[in-house]
């Protein structure tokens, strides 16, 4: 319970590409909303700027140890996108910083809400965030030059905690249905364990419908405008969660509109689900990057630390600025609207609510 | 080249649930279109009815050996859906008959076209069909009761042949772009090999644009009505092919509208991409099952064996009966339209073309 802490430290970790620009704007909005707490010393914002691909490449570390220590001193983190290199890129093959942070801080639940009120859509995805197809990273095996093997690894405990989180969320939010998405007919051992665990835990929640679908047909169901409304809370192994939430976010307006909460027992981290768009930086367009998604992640952060009133205001302002008014939404060189102008517009909108 | 054979044997393998009912109707349509060849003995239809879940469970075999021999005597196969059991089902845990057939007959290319002419969409998916996440089947490992491991396995040769098939198809059909879909930033060994192989082979086709996307963002791109038209030929590892083609088929009208060609050097098999719907049988509704998808698979079969004229007629009739006229399309108890009535309507429509 964060409200009992003497001081909450919010780490702001810009990451790569457009990351520093947009998280900077999100920070401005949060500081505005938490002005009283910042002034009284109850909240501290701490900028952590070492999580860049340049530094990670130089140290050949997914997260440089010094940066990891800085992150661990924070209670909650607002994070920008980080570049994930692969062979053939200009960068050496360091592991994904995203994935490393989820593992190092044990952020096992990746919670991604997608809402389209006018279509009756209110989905909350619970993506398992520390194991599955992401467990082994680059440590798959080239048996010989012609044969490659990757591993998918799950633990019973890993399945249990994400599935229980989904059911608990459903219960405390009056949701009637939790849906598991797997490919247990083919990936029998690991997805089988996930699905079996889901069915067991489901029995503890007799008032909630627990159903399950395979990931292939699920991507089709999300397209079906009538039937997709029936879904409420979805719980998925890591890889399917990665895939299905991008599709889902697109119906809401694109991955650029969705925020994501990475929650663990001790730490939590909030981020946009889009990438670092390095080309925007090389072309000098990063000041025009759309900060909407990371500001939304900021609203999730506010709610998480118990500042529900401020979170609600921010959600409302985001709706007004992106759906209702659409004044400066479309940041970009054409419109002349910068990230900073969008953040100003958000703050102005909140100011006018008072 | 099938046209050089004295006789082409077409196996019709009903499978489970609604399978026998709908493949039976597809066979009627094909026999009608190939009447001359059937009468002269140039084409023989051979019904193979042993691929049922009852028999597979009794013999504890994905494909009973006797059935496999029957299948291997055919040149091409039209196949209905088969039930894939998993633990907790009423059936023992035999491997998927679909997956076994793809492996046993070495049907390495799963080709799935999706067309929406009025939206300018004409996609052809080349799904790798014998390895990847499907390679190991139920032989993942329960290291202990708390830890499960599954394997993803690819070979260089396995990547090469599907990727080359995609580029060759693009080349001979005047397509300008081939897109690979992987998650090589995370599944580095196997998807990495797939993507590296793609980039290598792409160099041999300088006139074709070879680009690649990650599977998560690709599911979002297919939703984007403007940008999705740019895709033409897509090539994917097994699991992503499974996932993305169901989503794609939904835009065309549902998995019930899509046919699928499983092609190897020696054999080929054509099937619907939907499931066996056992509940329709128990409720006595199988005579109302929609045979559209397996009839479309039949049209792909006709084209494959060199009967292009008949294939074109059948495609045209399918368009007329499902898009233009929509007379009896919606088979089902409510409308009173049976599978047989739909097949009659298709044949009548072709008759009227002459
Ligand atoms: C950038 C990438 C490693 C990451 C993932 O695959 O998890 C991203 O797609 C996400 O969804 O957060
Ligand atoms: C039934 C199932 C085993 C199969 C698959 O996963 O390949 C199906 O979804 C398909 O796409 O043909």
- Name the residue of chain B whose CA is nearest to A149's CA: B153
Q: How confident is the model at residue B161 (pLDDT cuts 50, 70, 90)?
A: very high
Q: Does B91 touch chain A (CB under 8 A)?
A: no
CB-based contact A243 B243, cutoff 8 Å: yes
Residue B324 pLDDT exceeds 70: no
Return the closest-CA partner of residue A50 out of A7, A79, A85, A89: A79
Q: Does A272 touch chain B (CB under 8 A)?
A: no
Tens digit of pLDDT for each residue in B253-273? 888 788 899 999 999 999 988
Q: How confident is the model at residue A329 (pLDDT cuts 50, 70, 90)?
A: low
Q: What integer pLDDT is reported at residue A256 of this predicted model?
A: 77
A100 and A147 co-located in one domain: no
A89 and A126 co-located in one domain: no
Q: How confident is the model at residue B333 (pLDDT cuts 50, 70, 90)?
A: low
Ligand 2 centroid to B334 CA: how many Å? Answer: 29
Q: Does A253 touch chain B (CB under 8 A)?
A: no
Q: What integer pLDDT is reported at residue A330 of this predicted model?
A: 58
Q: How confident is the model at residue A207 (pLDDT cuts 50, 70, 90)?
A: very high
Residues A101, A110: contact at Cβ < 8 Å?
no
Q: What integer pLDDT is reported at residue A326 of this predicted model?
A: 58
- Domain edge (last residue) among B201, B227, B254: B254
Q: Does A203 touch chain B (CB under 8 A)?
A: no
Which CATH number covers residue B197?
3.40.718.10
Q: Which residue has the higher pLDDT, A164 or A185?
A: A164
Residue B9 lies in a domain: yes
Q: Which two tokens stand for residue A340?
A: 């900073």
A116 and A102 co-located in one domain: no
A117 and A92 co-located in one domain: no
Residue A163 pLDDT exceeds 90: yes
Residue to substitute in B51, B84, B98, B255 for testing ligand 2 pocket (most ligand atoms within 8 angstroms of CB): B98
Tell me which ligand sits closest to the C-alpha of residue A125: 1
Residues with CB under 6 A from ligand 2: A 185-186, 216; B 84, 96, 98-99, 242, 273
Residue B215 lies in a domain: yes
Q: What integer pLDDT is reported at residue A103 of this predicted model?
A: 96
Q: Does A249 touch chain B (CB under 8 A)?
A: yes
Tell me which ligand sits closest to the C-alpha of residue A191: 2
User: What is the H or E stretch that residue B278 is in?
Assistant: helix B278-282
Alpha carbon distance B179, B166 (integer Å): 9
Q: What integer pLDDT is reported at residue A327 of this predicted model?
A: 53
Q: What integer pLDDT is reported at residue A331 of this predicted model?
A: 60
Q: Which residue has the higher pLDDT, B320 or B344?
A: B344
B23 and B99 co-located in one domain: yes
Q: Could you say which of A147, A186, A190 has the minimum Cβ distance to residue B155?
A: A147
Residue B48 pLDDT exceeds 90: yes
- Domain edge (last residue) among B228, B254, B280: B254
User: Which residues of A28-155 form beta strands (DSSP E)?
Assistant: 43-48, 76-79, 109-116, 121-128, 141-144, 147-155
CA distance A280 to chain B (A): 18
CB-based contact B220 A151, cutoff 8 Å: no
Counting from 1 in the atom list of ligand 2, the atom nearest the Cα of B238 is 7
Tens digit of pLDDT for each residue in A116-159? 988 999 999 999 999 999 999 888 999 999 999 999 999 999 99
CA distance B121 to chain A (A): 16
- Name the residue of chain B whose CA is nearest to A217's CA: B246
Under 8 Å CB pairs connecting chains A and B tally to 181
Q: Could you say which of A148, A186, A222 has the minimum Cβ distance to residue B134?
A: A186
Q: Could you say which of B87, B99, B188 has the minimum Cβ distance to residue A186?
A: B99
Q: Which residue has the tokens 């995609």?
A: B166
pLDDT above 90 covers a percentage of chain A that reads: 79
Q: What are phi and psi of B266, to 5 degrees?
A: -105, -45
CB-based contact B149 A189, cutoff 8 Å: yes
Tens digit of pLDDT for each residue in A76-115? 999 999 998 876 678 888 889 999 999 999 999 999 999 8
Neighbours of A206 (CB within 10 A): 8
Average pLDDT value over all residues in chain B: 93
A213 and A168 co-located in one domain: yes
Q: Does A84 touch chain B (CB under 8 A)?
A: yes
Alpha carbon distance A236, A77 (integer Å): 24
Q: Which residue has the higher pLDDT, A85 or B42?
A: B42
B122 and B233 co-located in one domain: yes
Q: What integer pLDDT is reported at residue A320 of this predicted model?
A: 86
Q: Does A182 touch chain B (CB under 8 A)?
A: no
B163 and B245 co-located in one domain: yes
When pLDDT is averaged across residues B236-262 and rounded to a whole number, the result is 93
Q: Which two tokens stand for residue B5?
A: 């054979």
- Domain edge (last residue) among B232, B254, B276: B254
Counting from 1 in the atom list of ligand 1, the atom nearest the Cα of A110 is 12
B-proximal residues of A, 296-315, CB under 8 Å: none
Residues with CB under 6 A from ligand 1: A 84, 96, 98-99, 242, 273; B 185-186, 216
Helix, strand, or coil (residue A268): strand
Q: Which two tokens stand for residue A70?
A: 């800085």
Helix, strand, or coil (residue B64): coil
Strand partners, A210: A178
Q: Does B99 touch chain A (CB under 8 A)?
A: yes
Sort out which chain A residues have CB atoms less than 8 A from B246's CB and list them. Answer: 216-217, 219-220
Ligand 1 centroid to B273 CA: how many Å? Answer: 29
Q: What are phi and psi of A198, to 5 degrees?
A: -60, -45
Q: Which two tokens stand for residue B64?
A: 């009973």
In angstroms, what CA-CA distances link B132 with B95, B158, B182, B237? 16, 9, 11, 6
Residue A11 pLDDT exceeds 70: yes
CA distance A147 to chain B (A): 5
Alpha carbon distance B180, B163 (integer Å): 9
When pLDDT is averaged across residues A40-67 and rounded to a whole number, the result is 96
Return the closest-CA partner of residue A46 out of A18, A65, A72, A83: A72
CB-based contact A149 B152, cutoff 8 Å: yes
Residue to substitute in A111, A129, A239, A242 for testing ligand 1 pocket (most ligand atoms within 8 angstroms of CB): A242
A32 and A101 co-located in one domain: yes
- Name the residue of chain B whose CA is nearest to A89's CA: B185
Q: What are phi and psi of B45, to 5 degrees?
A: -95, 135
Residue B259 lies in a domain: no
B291 and B350 co-located in one domain: yes
A268 and A333 co-located in one domain: yes
Residue A328 pLDDT exceeds 60: no
Measured over all CA atoms, what is the biggest interatomic distance in chain A, rounded to whole angstroms?
66
Domain count, chain B: 2
| pTM of the shown model | 0.93
Residue A324 pLDDT exceeds 80: no
B29 and B161 co-located in one domain: no
Domain that holds residue B341: 1-107+264-354
Residue B132 lies in a domain: yes
Suggest the residue from B223, B228, B251, B273 to mutate for an interface test with chain A (most A CBs closer than 10 A): B223
Q: What are phi and psi of A17, to 5 degrees?
A: 55, -125
Suggest the residue from B217, B226, B260 to mutate for an interface test with chain A (most A CBs closer than 10 A): B217
Residue B321 lies in a domain: yes
Ligand 1 atom 12 nearest Cα: A273
């Amino acid at each position: 319970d964060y409200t009992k802490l003497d001081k909450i430290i919010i780490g702001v970790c810009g990451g790569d590409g457009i990351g520093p620009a947009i998280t900077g704007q999100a920070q401005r909005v949060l500081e505005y909303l938490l002005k009283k707490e910042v002034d009284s010393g109850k909240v501290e914002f701490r900028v952590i700027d070492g999580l860049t691909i340049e530094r990670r490449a130089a140290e050949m570390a997914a997260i440089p140890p010094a940066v990891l220590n800085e992150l661990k001193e924070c209670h909650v983190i607002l994070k920008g996108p980080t570049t994930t290199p692969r062979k053939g890129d200009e960068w050496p093959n360091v592991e994904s910083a995203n994935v490393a942070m989820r593992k190092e801080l044990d952020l096992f639940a990746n919670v991604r809400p997608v809402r389209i009120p006018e279509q009756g859509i209110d989905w909350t995805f619970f993506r398992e965030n520390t194991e599955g197809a992401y467990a082994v990273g680059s440590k798959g095996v080239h048996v010989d030059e012609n044969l490659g093997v990757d591993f998918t690894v799950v633990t019973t405990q890993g399945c249990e905690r994400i599935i229980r989180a989904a059911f608990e969320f459903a219960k405390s939010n009056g949701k009637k249905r939790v849906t598991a998405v797997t490919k247990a007919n083919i990936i029998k051992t690991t997805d089988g364990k996930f699905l079996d665990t889901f069915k067991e835990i489901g029995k503890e929640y007799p008032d909630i419908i627990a159903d399950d679908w395979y990931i292939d047909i699920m991507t089709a169901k999300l397209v079906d405008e009538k039937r997709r409304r029936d879904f409420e809370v979805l719980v998925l192994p890591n890889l399917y969660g990665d895939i299905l939430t991008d599709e889902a976010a697109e119906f809401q307006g694109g991955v650029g509109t969705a925020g994501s909460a990475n929650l663990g027992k001790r730490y939590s981290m909030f981020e946009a689900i889009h990438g670092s768009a390095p080309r925007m930086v090389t072309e000098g367009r990063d000041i025009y990057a759309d900060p909407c998604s990371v500001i939304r992640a900021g609203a999730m952060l506010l709610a998480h630390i118990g500042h529900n009133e401020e979170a609600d205001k921010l959600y409302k302002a985001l709706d007004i600025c992106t759906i209702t008014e659409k004044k400066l939404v479309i940041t970009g060189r054409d419109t002349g609207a910068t990230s900073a102008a969008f953040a100003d517009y958000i703050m102005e909108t909140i100011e006018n609510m008072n």
